[in-house]
Amino acid sequence: DPDMPFVPSIPEDQFILVEEGDPAVIPCRTSDPDAQVTLVNSLDKPVYAFYDSKQGFIGNFPAGSYTCKTMVKGVEFKSDEFLIYIIRATSQLPVEIEALKTVYKTGETIVVTCVVFDNEVVNLQWNYPGKVKEKGLIKLDDIKVPSQKLVYTLTIPEASVKDTGDYECTARHATKEVKENKKVVITVHDKGFVHLEPQFSPLEAVNLHEVKNFVVDVQ
């Protein structure tokens, strides 16, 4: 198609995530397989890489913005802009789940944290009893120093007995078919159920060989 030498790209193709050291594909494909295509960076300087009209430019590219150019009958055409993001990721997906405590009373705030190590971009999903009602508040902290970790915090305010159950986080790798999930069981009681009432003072004196009873009422 001389009026559209570059095959239109969908928005998802314009954002390219690539792990450190891995090759990437800049998918500016042409409708004419014999078209001469040039790749330029954000400074409009040529970037030399292998080109396949069915895939695009293939190579190890620094992070940044890239555009493809071609000429049709003396008229220059530009492709969409492609953005390459270099991410730090490991082939494994180390994940830990943490809860400050696992037993709560009605009205308290439940806090559960899921931590993903050594990966900058993951897809993380929570499953918990109140998810259908969207009761949880989710916060993400991206920590770089001293090491890379993503800290996802799930907060359930004003907990009720219905919030008792499994709290599970599932992390999926950004570029590989790898996933990891962790689970913790949270229990919410209607009210505190143990009450201790000692029938003695904090400090008691006893004579040698004297027998003394210490009584505690437990409710």
Q: pLDDT band at residue 219, thresholds of 50, 70 and 90?
A: confident
**Considering the domain boundaries, does residue 82 fall inside one?**
yes
pLDDT at 144: 87
Residue after which a domain boundary falls, among 57, 87, 117: 87
**Considering the domain boundaries, does residue 48 fall inside one?**
yes
**Considering the domain boundaries, does residue 3 fall inside one?**
no
**Considering the domain boundaries, does residue 208 fall inside one?**
no
pLDDT at 108: 95
Q: What is the CATH number of the domain that holds 118?
A: 2.60.40.10
pTM over the 0.75 mark: no
Residue 115 confidence (pLDDT) above 80 = yes
Count of domains observed in the chain = 2
Whether residue 112 is found in the same domain as residue 166: yes
Q: How many CB atoms within 10 Å of residue 155?
A: 14
Domain that holds residue 54: 11-87
More reliable by pLDDT, 91 or 7: 7
Q: pLDDT tens-digit profile of 166-213? A: 999 999 987 778 889 999 999 999 987 788 999 999 999 999 999 999
